[in-house]
Structure 1
């Protein structure tokens, strides 16, 4: 079976930048956008033009330099928003306006103070108005995760008829379980007239730690676009992590789904975003965390040294990491110690290794991690010249 293409919609520069303290200047945004294009993302959501002059300018300047990826600008279902987004996209080679409105009863009643019928009218009008400026219109049904499926289907069918090309089904609050979210996508796929003519998109938040799982469930049930961010940055607990969904698809070829992302640039891109935003990546973060390919347990170290895939399902080089790390701690064994000695140019005999190991354990009980300088000191102290 041929592999189906999953569009990667990166919103690091829009949803990701909404994190308090992570404001980026236009030159930083341009640098990240160019890196995202090199990475191979299909769509770059460059900003929310009406929100500020700076955001407007960033979308304009990014549009000037990006040649291949689609450039998307966010708007609410408000004419002024949509017009401003269109103005910001005037230089884009492949422009997209992303407009929408809340569809859950909570949003309709408490946030918008409206009715389902009026929201439906606003959704249709927004898409038709946006269509006057660009051909590619993505509609988001905010809080779709908590929206009644029958009403959500009505909205989706109406905006398709109005001219939408992409339907974004956000789990805005990160509430859904993967089974629920997958079933919602399947319901729309099976019950919305004209759904075969548009792209269904996932946009999942990580409030309960399920953003990646929900996105994968979405594409398993018919979505063909994933909206995500580098390092999973975003509002509150963050968004779907780009690096995670890309590598999940690649590590499970039986899904017959893949992106065109150059995974060897993932680590480099992660570092750029982290440094630009001043947002450290947690060490145990999947794929790009400092400990993602680090081993400190003696049992694990012995297995990895003998054959990498005993404990690593991804070759570090595939995501831009030079090699696995054998970290020497009090839990490390002789195999790891011999490996690290060999790496710094010392091939110890069994007797020498036993002597060195006895000293190593004493050092490791005092220090969290034993480094190469400590190893050289052990050899000097024990007068081992191997």
Structure 2
């Protein structure tokens, strides 16, 4: 079958989704999981965007061995230089440069004529080719561009050395039939198109990102660009899991295959949710909580008789299990670890031990610990931030006729700190008590709480976002007590903030020492 390359841009376009930024350690964790998933190409970032982005691309390039690592760059020499500096350490590096080709972008954003755009695109691909053999050129806003002009641009950049030409639906404007025609037209009217892969990058503004990607593949595209859980700018990108499973499930229609290890889809989705704090809706295709759930009596009867009556793919194929083993306070470590493995988590021995101890505490509070409880515990251990401050205990007093107070005790190294504060409620009072101890100026930008499971004994998952010096630091906490979960999440965000600051100070010191030498 014809092979479709999967280009994942979760680390670049996905991270641009509001609230989905990742720190360096989180990006490396995600990159390693994407490699395990089997993506052909991962776009690690936009190297010139910031020093942090450059460092992330560089570290990913140094770490990944089995996937091509790409950096995005505008069609400018300074961008291309920076991109190459970051990806040159990769086993398989790629420079991905772009320039807008639609009339509206050329006139109002670039303020250039079509001929100037054609010349710039060609010259910048030639320039990039000096550094790297694998060059991708994207015609930004291609779906709203003149098709004949697109053909001229693509023919020219392929002659200049481009190995991949990308046709993005940058603003999610096109439709499947229209996009099929665009890809077909380019394939039939670019004389040297056989020398390059045809790639597509579809946004989801009209909810057609996946449908447009699939239409492009039918028309002859050989690479599809997407993100895990469909995260990305505005309404997001085509979701990798949906594109891949559509191709795998309907080979009779598409007649193609990918190199994706589909059993890693669910663990990858859960990691992205854990890292970004961006939750997916229960009815999300492939990876949503209800994707393989059946409540209707008619459906249940059909599935019990034959699963294919209501399931067009198996949960095992995307990394889920039908195992309904009940875990509780009498369960042992072996059963807990087996359940983790069935759910797709591969934790270290230390992480398993920490998760198991948390599970035992939870099991004392709940009659039954569900899969979602286990996933929440495991997700807390997948991305580790050093515990600069450690939560010890809290006491609150509140009511509708008294001022809420909170007493919080936390420790740092071997020192123990305890403060009391008042607030608009017990959580606000607890946060203010912690502020007294930490003594750092920052602001609370966002606070979210959601029940992980159902019932009165459900765990509460809290996501905290703190702002300091223009940067957002995300923390998460988990407990059956929402005040405790909130305090844990607040301390987790503060630890991330302090850890980032200590790393910057260390790097600055090393830089000064290096210059002195």
Superposed displacement of residue 256, structure 1 = 1.7
Alignment pair present for 1:20 and 2:36: no
**Can you list the C-alpha shifts for 1:131-153, whole angstroms capped at 9, x where unaligned?**
01101000000000101111111
Picking from 234, 239, 242, the partner of 2:232 is 234
Runs of 5+ unmatched residues, structure 2: 325-367, 369-452, 458-517
Report the counterpart of residue 87 of structure 2 in structure 1.
89
- CA distance change for structure 1 residues 370 and 144 in 2, over 3 Å: closer, same or farther? closer
Cα separation, 1, equivalents of 2:41 and 2:238: 15
SS in 2 for 1:49: coil
Residue in 2 aligned with 1:42? 40
Q: Which residue of 2 aligns with 1:199?
A: 197
- Equivalence for 2:241: 243
Distance 1:61 1:309 in 2: 44
- Normalising by structure 1, we get a TM-score of 0.83
Match of 2:318 in 1: 319
Question: Structure 1 301/87 Cα, relative in aligned 2: closer, same or farther at 3 Å?
Answer: same
- 1:265 is matched with 264
In structure 2, the residue corresponding to 1:295 is in which secondary structure? coil
Farther-moved stretch of structure 1 (36-45 vs 299-308): 299-308
Q: CA RMSD in A?
A: 1.5
Residues 176-218 of structure 1: per-residue CA shift (max 9 Å, x gap): 0100101100001000011011000010000000000000000
Deviations 1:76-98 (A, max 9, x none): 01110000000001211100000
| Structure 2 CA distance for aligned equivalents of residues 109 and 80 of structure 1 | 23
Counterpart of 1:287 in structure 2 is 286
User: Counterpart of 1:159?
Assistant: 157
Match of 2:133 in 1: 135
Task: Output the CA distance in 1 between the equivalents of 2:190 and 2:199.
Answer: 14
Inter-partner Cα distance in structure 1 for 2:62 and 2:112: 39
Contact 1:205–1:239, Cα closer than 8 Å, also in 2 = yes
Normalized per residue, which structure has more strand?
2
Task: Provide the residue aligned with 1:58 in structure 2.
Answer: 56
2:207 aligned residue: 209
Deviation at 1:252, TM superposition (A): 1.1
CA contact (8 A) 1:246 1:259 kept: yes
Q: Distance in 2 between matches of 1:124 and 1:80?
A: 16
Cα displacement (A) at 1:301 = 1.4
Q: Is the 8 A contact 1:181 1:214 kept in 2?
A: yes
Distance 1:323 1:154 in 2: 53
Partner of 1:177: 175
Deviations 1:249-272 (A, max 9, x none): 111122220101111110000000
Tell me which residue corresponds to 1:301: 300
How far apart are residue 49 of structure 1 and its match?
A: 0.4
Matched, 1:122 2:96: no
Distance 1:144 1:323 in 2: 43
1:324 Cα deviation from its structure 2 partner? 8.8
Query: Aligned partners of 2:135 and 2:296: how far apart in 1?
Result: 51
| Matched position secondary structure for 1:168 | strand
Question: What per-residue deviation string (whole Å, max 9, x for no partner) do you get for residues 323-376 of structure 1?
Answer: 299xxxxxxxxxxxxxxxxxx9xxxxxxxxxxxxxxxxxxxxxxxx998x9xxx
Give the one of 8, 26, 30 matched to 1:10.
Answer: 8
Name the structure 1 match of 2:72.
Answer: 74
Runs of 4+ in 1 over 2 A off after TM superposition: none
SS of residue paired to 1:50: coil
Q: Does 1:225 align with 2:223?
A: yes
* CA–CA separation in structure 2 for the residues paired with 1:370 and 1:35: 30
For residues 56-82 of structure 1, give each alpha carbon's deviation from its aligned partner in whole angstroms, at most 9, with x where no partner exists. 000111111100100000000111000
Residue 138 of structure 1 aligns to a residue whose secondary structure is strand
Partner secondary structure for residue 15 of structure 2: helix
d(CA) in 1 for partners of 2:14, 2:138: 17
Structure 1 residue 321, shift from structure 2 partner: 1.2
Q: How many residues align?
A: 328
Q: Distance in 2 between matches of 1:169 and 1:112?
A: 18
Q: Does 1 or 2 have the higher relative contact order (CA < 8 Å, sep 6+)?
A: 1
CA contact (8 A) 1:43 1:72 kept: yes
In the alignment, the residues of structure 1 paired with residue 139 and residue 322 of structure 2 have an alpha-carbon distance, to the nearest angstrom, of 43
Distance 2:178 2:37 in 1: 31
Say if 1:72 and 1:96, in contact at 8 Å, map to a contact too. yes
* TM-score (structure 2 length as normaliser): 0.62
Give distance in 1, aligned partners of 2:181 and 2:46. Answer: 30
